[in-house]
């Protein structure tokens, strides 16, 4: 492992600040966490990917050690500020769930600054529910989940909130990773359940702009993720201008925690070797 650079810092962004970690030496790789976690979800990747990349992870506003937003802000501008601070003219991005919207929005605004993107369980919220009744029910159940979770949080029933989120998004996560995820859930309740900061976030990305994003994108989805989320990821891959789709067998919404070896294989093949093995790949 090349650990030529290893430090934690804080970068000022308009109206706020972001806490970040950097490890390794090579072409930059930004890790964007899911909206049910913080940068600690990438603890394993922070140690494994410095073999090939200069790895950068950070807490988006309100999560982890980054203070919450109190006024409108741009997720893309936050990422730009961080990359400028670290002297990165271009980067690869590995983004989980909600982080995928940040990655694609940034690629749209700054196309010359992104080489490749991997999204994991991303796409939800970009497209209206399809006419299929079963999928519509899955979309409705997701909305209801957060309604119930917010009600329980306000009533002080925090363990019920943890149970709801684990059951829906991380049923396959076990042992130490599950313990760490529970810690992240408890730390970030307000952001996860009430969108305390994210309600101020602005994006430029819209579905009709996705075909214009012709940079290489790998769209990953866990085979055991919720139906609405699996459908959203596949729809994302079909809409993007140049995307490949792969389903991670046995993984839930957080494949890096529930099926890490399979995730590593797919990401390394795409970022380092420039493509995927034929198995399980749907190129466009």
pLDDT in tens, 177-194: 999 999 999 999 999 999
Owning domain of residue 59: 6-129+198-283
Residue 61 inside a domain? The answer is yes
- Is 166 within a domain? no
8 Å CB contact between 124 and 130: no
191-223 pLDDT, tens digit each = 999 999 999 999 988 999 999 998 999 999 999
What are the pLDDT digits (tens) for 52-94? Answer: 899 999 999 999 999 999 999 999 999 999 999 999 999 999 9
Residue 1 lies in a domain: no
pLDDT of residue 83: 98
User: How deeply is 258 buried, as exposed, middle or buried, from its count of CB atoms within 10 A (0-12, 13-18, 19+)?
Assistant: buried
Largest Cα separation within the chain, whole Å, is: 53
Query: If you average pLDDT over residues 256-282, what whole number do you get?
Result: 78
Looking at residue 198, its pLDDT comes to: 94
pLDDT category at 275 given cuts 50, 70, 90 is low
User: Does residue 73 belong to any structural domain of this protein?
Assistant: yes
278 vs 114 pLDDT, higher one? 114
146, pLDDT greater than 60? yes
| pLDDT, mean of residues 134-145 | 96
**Is there a domain that residue 262 lies in?**
yes
**Is 159 a domain residue?**
no
Q: Is the pLDDT of residue 99 over 90?
A: yes
What average pLDDT score do residues 27-32 get?
97
Q: Which two tokens stand for residue 112?
A: 């010359």
- Assign residue 235 the CATH number of its domain: 3.40.50.1820
Q: Which of 125, 56, 124, 121 is nearest to 263 (CA)?
A: 121
Tell whether 101 is covered by a domain. Answer: yes
Question: 184 in a domain, yes or no?
Answer: no
The residue assigned the tokens 């959203």 is 232
Contact call for residues 272 and 52 (beta carbons, < 8 A): yes
Confirm if 197 and 189 have CB atoms less than 8 A apart: no
Q: What's the pLDDT tens digit per position in 3-12?
A: 567 899 999 9
Q: What is the secondary structure of the chain as a DSSP string?
A: ---S-EEEEEEEETTEEEEEEEE-SSEEEEEE--TTS-GGGGHHHHHHGGGTEEEEEEPPTTSTTSPPP-S-EEHHHHHHHHHHHTT-SSEEEEEETTHHHHHHHHHHH-GGGEEEEEEES--TTTSPPPS-HHHHHHHHHHHHHHHHHHHHHHTT-HHHHHHHHHHHH-TT--HHHHHHHHHHHHHTHHHHHH-TTGGGEE----GGGGGG--S-EEEEEETTS-HHHHHHHHHHHHHSSSEEEEEETT--S-HHHHSHHHHHHHHHHHHTSSS--STTEEE-
Q: Residue 137 pLDDT > 70, yes or no?
A: yes
Query: Whole-angstrom distance between the N-terminal and C-terminal Cα of the chain?
Result: 34
Tokens, residue 120: 């994991």
If 0-12 CB within 10 Å is exposed, 13-18 middle and 19+ buried, where does residue 178 land?
A: middle
Structural domain total, the chain: 1
Mean of the per-residue pLDDT values of the chain? 93
């Amino acid at each position: 492992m090349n650990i030529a650079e290893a430090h934690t810092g804080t970068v000022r962004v308009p109206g706020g600040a972001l806490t970040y970690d950097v490890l390794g030496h090579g072409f930059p790789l930004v890790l964007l966490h899911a909206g049910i976690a913080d940068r600690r979800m990438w603890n394993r990747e922070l140690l494994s990917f410095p073999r090939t990349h200069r790895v950068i992870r950070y807490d988006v506003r309100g999560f982890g050690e980054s203070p919450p937003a109190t006024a409108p802000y741009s997720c893309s501008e936050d990422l730009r500020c961080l990359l400028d601070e670290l002297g990165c003219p271009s980067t690869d991005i590995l983004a989980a769930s909600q982080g995928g919207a940040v990655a694609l929005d940034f690629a749209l605004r700054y196309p010359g600054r992104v080489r490749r993107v991997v999204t994991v369980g991303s796409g939800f919220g970009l497209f209206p529910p399809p006419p299929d009744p079963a999928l519509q029910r899955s979309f409705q159940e997701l909305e209801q989940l957060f309604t119930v979770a917010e009600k329980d949080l306000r009533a002080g029933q925090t363990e019920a909130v943890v149970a709801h989120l684990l059951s829906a998004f991380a049923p396959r996560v076990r042992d130490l990773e599950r313990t760490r995820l529970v810690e992240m859930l408890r730390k970030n309740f307000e952001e996860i359940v009430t969108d305390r900061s994210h309600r101020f976030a602005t994006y430029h990305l819209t579905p009709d702009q996705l075909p214009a994003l012709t940079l290489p994108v790998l769209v990953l989805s866990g085979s055991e993720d919720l139906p609405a989320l699996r459908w959203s990821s596949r729809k994302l891959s079909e809409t993007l201008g140049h995307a490949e789709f792969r389903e991670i067998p046995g993984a839930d919404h957080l494949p890096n925690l529930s099926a890490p070896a399979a995730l590593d294989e797919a990401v390394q093949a795409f970022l380092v070797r420039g493509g995927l093995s034929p198995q399980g790949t749907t190129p466009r």
